[in-house]
Amino acid sequence: MSEAASAPVSATGLASEIRRRRTFAIISHPDAGKTTLTERILRAGGAIQLAGNVRAKGERRRTKSDWMGIERDRGISVVTSVMTFEYGGCVFNLLDTPGHEDFSEDTYRTLTAVDCAVMVIDAAKGIEDRTRKLFEICRLRDIPIVTFINKMDREAQDCFGLLDEIASTLALDTSPATWPIGRAGHFAGTYDMRTREIRGEAVDLPQSDARMVALSEELELAEAALPLFDRESFDAGHLTPVFFGSAMKEIGVTDLLDALVAYGPEPRAQPSETREVKADEEQVTALIFKIQANMDPNHRDRMAFARICSGKLTRGMRLKHVRTGKQFALHTPQFFFARDRQLAEEAFAGDVVGLPNHGTLRIGDTLSESEELRFTGVPHFAPEILRRVRLDDAMKAKKLRQALVELAEEGVVQLFRPQDGLPPIVGVVGTLQLDVLQSRLQGEYGVAIGFESTPYTIARWVTGERAKIEAFSMVNRSAMADDLDGDPVFLASSNFMMRRTVEMNADLGFHDIKQIG
Interface pick for ligand GDP out of 151, 387, 417, 514 (rule CB under 6 A): 151
Task: For ligand GDP, give the closer residue by CB, 152 or 436.
Answer: 152
- Residue 136 CB, nearest distance to ligand GDP (Å)? 19
- Residue 158 CB, nearest distance to ligand GDP (Å)? 18
Site for ligand GDP in 66-105 (CB under 6 A): 99
299 carries a ligand binding annotation:
no
* The residue count for the chain: 517
Question: What φ, ψ does residue 58 adopt, rounded to 5°?
Answer: -55, -35
Candidates 24-32, 179-187, 390-398, 405-413; binding stretch for ligand GDP (CB under 6 A):
24-32
Angle at 128 between CA 123 and CA 130, to 5 degrees: 130
Candidates 7-15, 28-36, 449-457, 490-498; binding stretch for ligand GDP (CB under 6 A):
28-36
Q: Among residues 99, 96, 94, which one has the least CA distance to residue 81? A: 96
3-state secondary structure of 311: coil
Element spanning 116, H or E: strand 116-122
- Residue 77 CB, nearest distance to ligand GDP (Å)? 15
31 carries a ligand binding annotation:
yes
96 carries a ligand binding annotation:
yes
Interface pick for ligand GDP out of 21, 22, 25, 28 (rule CB under 6 A): 28
- Residue 138 CB, nearest distance to ligand GDP (Å)? 17
The yes or no reply on residue 107 touching ligand GDP (CB under 6 A) is: no
455 carries a ligand binding annotation:
no
CB contact at 8 A, 285 and 371: yes
The yes or no reply on residue 35 touching ligand GDP (CB under 6 A) is: yes
d(CA 390, CA 273): 38
Site for ligand GDP in 235-274 (CB under 6 A): 246-248
Task: For ligand GDP, give the closer residue by CB, 26 or 428.
Answer: 26
What are the distances in angstroms from CA 137 to CA 12, 120, 372, 489? Answer: 33, 15, 27, 20
- Residue 431 CB, nearest distance to ligand GDP (Å)? 17
CB contact at 8 A, 108 and 95: no
The strand pair at 509-511 and 458-463 is best described as: antiparallel
Q: Which residues sit opposite 381 in a β-bridge?
A: 513
Interface pick for ligand GDP out of 9, 27, 32, 425 (rule CB under 6 A): 32
d(CA 177, CA 180): 10
d(CA 488, CA 143): 30
119 carries a ligand binding annotation:
no
Binding residues for GTP: 28-35, 96-100, 150-153
Residues of this chain that interact with ligand GDP (CB under 6 A) are 28, 30-36, 99, 150-151, 153-154, 246-248
